[in-house]
Amino acid sequence: MHPKLALAVALSAVMLGVASCAAPAPSPVGSSKTTSSAAGFALDTAGARERIAQAGLAVLTAEGNVQHFHAHLDVLKDGQPVAVPANIGITVGPGNKPDGISALHTHDTSGVIHIESPTAGQVFTLGQLLTEWGVLAGGGAAGTGSGPLGGWTAYVNGKKYDAGVRDVPLKRHDEIVLSFGASPAKIPASYEFPPNE
């Protein structure tokens, strides 16, 4: 088991402990949106609580420690990387300070997906993460973060996943690639996770 960093934030009059898996804790956000490297893929932190519920997940007061593993996500549009935002699955309260967390979340823009559940045996999916991110709204043009999933292809550990983008299960140390348009010459098949992750 690797060391965890603790962050105390206010949750009404109660302090909330959010443990961070060897990653920087979420920092206060200057506005209600944290942008990524491509238009249409921004994370609207103000709607996190509702999107977590839409993903079928609960807002927790701390990361779970019963089921704990990591996967990695690369998003490519016409072969070019799109940043996976920090703080997916993390709610913010007054002063844009973190005040809750889902069992499925990100801490930074590395693409590492943290699965830290208080219960064992639950299967988490790429569709749930994309719902928490807010890119499954379907209101934008195809190929944008807010557009439909038609035209997107998923790869798991370098192999095409044909069962549907939403249904990709997140498993320990999987390298998941979500690609739209022109594919890169080589699909990443693995990710070098830090030691003890």
The model's pLDDT over 15-68, given as tens digits with 9 standing for 90+, comes to 233 344 544 344 443 333 443 445 568 888 888 999 999 999 999 999 999 999
Q: What are the tokens at 22?
A: 């060897």
DSSP 3-state of 149: coil
Give the C-alpha separation, 153 to 179, whole Å: 5
Q: Looking at the domain assignment, is residue 166 inside a domain?
A: yes
- Checking if the pLDDT of 190 tops 80, the result is yes
Q: Looking at the domain assignment, is residue 131 inside a domain?
A: yes
What integer pLDDT is reported at residue 9 of this predicted model? 29
Asked whether 123 and 171 are in contact (CB, 8 A), the reply is no
Q: What is the DSSP letter of 169?
A: B
- Checking if the pLDDT of 81 tops 70, the result is yes
Q: Looking at the domain assignment, is residue 49 inside a domain?
A: yes
Q: Looking at the domain assignment, is residue 156 inside a domain?
A: yes
Length of the chain: 197
Give the C-alpha separation, 56 to 52, whole Å: 7
Q: How does strand 98-101 pair with strand 67-77?
A: unpaired
Asked whether 176 and 126 are in contact (CB, 8 A), the reply is yes
- Which pLDDT band holds residue 108 (cuts at 50, 70, 90)? very high
Q: Looking at the domain assignment, is residue 10 inside a domain?
A: yes
Exposed, middle or buried, 44 (CB in 10 Å: 0-12/13-18/19+)?
A: middle
Give the C-alpha separation, 86 to 109, whole Å: 5
Share of the chain above pLDDT 90, in %: 54
Q: Looking at the domain assignment, is residue 193 inside a domain?
A: no
Q: Looking at the domain assignment, is residue 191 inside a domain?
A: no
Question: In which domain, by residue range, is 57 found?
Answer: 5-22+39-180
What integer pLDDT is reported at residue 164 of this predicted model? 87
Asked whether 149 and 166 are in contact (CB, 8 A), the reply is yes
* Domain count for the chain: 1
What integer pLDDT is reported at residue 135 of this predicted model? 84
What integer pLDDT is reported at residue 45 of this predicted model? 87
Asked whether 98 and 106 are in contact (CB, 8 A), the reply is no
